[in-house]
Amino acid sequence: METENPAGSYGKQAYTQVGKLGEFGLIKRLTEKIILKQPSSIKGIGDDAAVIEPGKDEVILFSTDMLAEGIHFDLTYTPLQHLGYKAVSVNVSDICAMNGIPTQITVSIGVSNQFSVEALEELYKGMRFACEEYGIDLVGGDTISSHSGMVISISILGRAKKEEVTYRNTAQVDDIVCVSGDLGAACAGLLVLNRGKEMFNNDPEAKPDLTGYEYVLKRQLMPQARVDIIGLFKTEHIVPTAMIDISDGLSSEVHHLCEDGKIACIIDEERIPINDVVKKVADEFKTSPMAYALSGGEDYELLFTLSKKDFEKIKNSDKLKRIGEIVTASHGISFRDRAGKLHPLSAKGWDGLQGEN
């Protein structure tokens, strides 16, 4: 799939209108290239329900996520292939956050009759690409017409051994807090895209130059769920003590982990991984990149806690970084700045940064 120039717009070009094809014709066009690969997918698209073989000695994980145009995505700069990929990724990320393996999805779309069939084919191309990459099957869905914008709802099935399922609320005092990848990039990407849109709205001749921002644009438009981290846990025989995926910013997720777990933690400012492009964008917007990492959303990295013994096994991996430790609830959730001073960390971020936001 093309990713070199993620920004662009082909969402509303008029080719064949969806209304001309009818529901069944549309479903056929969108789903004819789908092939099933999971041995557990007995029957996919084409009957009243998909048929899935349950795994032996395993539990089923089930989750769903809905994306609405104008709220979760903007078709003026979101290529539909990327949107399809992202819609699948955010669901896969939820299964990863339970330490599970994703297996099947269903895709329901609400779309106006004026929308082009070719544009929807782009959406499905992105979803098929994601399914291939994550090794999952698209086994069904629903199609309805919508009067106000596009809606995409994906449900996902996954599997895990019962004793390996990882919840949010089970971190223990003295555990090490880790994060996969780096933070704040998706938020920086969104700001760059919105700045470009504004420039274009003010002057339709203006062509925003997005060179040099590729990393953050890709992180916003085409986030990858961290199935690799779950694979690493399996090969190293590690079960995290608690885990959550970062969809709303580190501070908010840290609060979920601690409030649900009745413990607290200390997060170290100097350990929070932030990419140089994020720093450049923050500089241009005259704010702190730490604000993006703490309060920006949509990074879809994993935040997890490990026992000290398990942490030793993977501490040299470049896929994850130690960012703090779990302490007793009476310490409160805090942020240790570079000078070693502790500050309370609210769910929205560190108060010391809010003046800069």
Chain contacts with Mg ion (rule: CB under 5 A): 142
Quote the least distance from Cβ 293 to ligand ADP, whole Å.
Answer: 36
Q: From ligand ADP, Mg ion, none, which one binds at residue 48 (CB under 5 to 8 Å depending on kind)?
A: ligand ADP
- CA proximity to 92, closest of 59, 53, 63: 63
d(CA 342, CA 225): 32
Residue with Cβ nearer ligand ADP (80 or 98): 80
Q: From Mg ion, ligand ADP, none, which one binds at residue 45 (CB under 5 to 8 Å depending on kind)?
A: ligand ADP
Quote the least distance from Cβ 70 to ligand ADP, whole Å.
Answer: 20
Quote the least distance from Cβ 300 to ligand ADP, whole Å.
Answer: 23
Quote the least distance from Cβ 87 to ligand ADP, whole Å.
Answer: 12
Quote the least distance from Cβ 127 to ligand ADP, whole Å.
Answer: 9
Quote the least distance from Cβ 100 to Mg ion, whole Å.
Answer: 27
Q: From Mg ion, ligand ADP, none, which one binds at residue 31 (CB under 5 to 8 Å depending on kind)?
A: ligand ADP
Residue facing Mg ion at closest CB distance: 142
Residue with Cβ nearer ligand ADP (120 or 320): 120
Residue with Cβ nearer ligand ADP (123 or 302): 123
Residue with Cβ nearer ligand ADP (108 or 307): 108
For CA atoms 347, 169, 54, 40, give the dihedral sign: positive
CA dihedral 130, 132, 133, 139 (to 10 degrees): 60
The SS3 assignment for 47 reads strand
Quote the least distance from Cβ 142 to Mg ion, whole Å.
Answer: 4
Residue with Cβ nearer ligand ADP (143 or 307): 143
d(CA 125, CA 87): 12
Q: From ligand ADP, Mg ion, none, which one binds at residue 188 (CB under 5 to 8 Å depending on kind)?
A: none
List beta partners, residue 59: 160
- Other CB atoms within 10 A of residue 28 CB: 13
What is the number of alpha carbons within 13 Å of residue 166 lying toward its C-beta?
Answer: 27
Q: From ligand ADP, Mg ion, none, which one binds at residue 346 (CB under 5 to 8 Å depending on kind)?
A: none
- Using an 8 Å Cβ cutoff, are 347 and 280 in contact? no
Structure tokens at 170: 């089970």
Q: From Mg ion, ligand ADP, none, which one binds at residue 27 (CB under 5 to 8 Å depending on kind)?
A: ligand ADP
Which residues lie below 8 Å from residue 135, measured CB to CB, with a gap of 6+?
37, 38, 102
- Using an 8 Å Cβ cutoff, are 233 and 25 in contact? no
Quote the least distance from Cβ 142 to ligand ADP, whole Å.
Answer: 5
Q: From Mg ion, ligand ADP, none, which one binds at residue 4 (CB under 5 to 8 Å depending on kind)?
A: none
d(CA 273, CA 256): 20
CA dihedral 324, 332, 98, 234 (to 10 degrees): 30
Q: What one-character DSSP code corresponds to residue 338? A: T
d(CA 3, CA 115): 24
Residue with Cβ nearer Mg ion (109 or 131): 109
Which residues lie near ligand ADP (CB under 6 A)?
Answer: 27, 30-31, 45-48, 107, 109, 140-143
Residue with Cβ nearer ligand ADP (20 or 308): 20
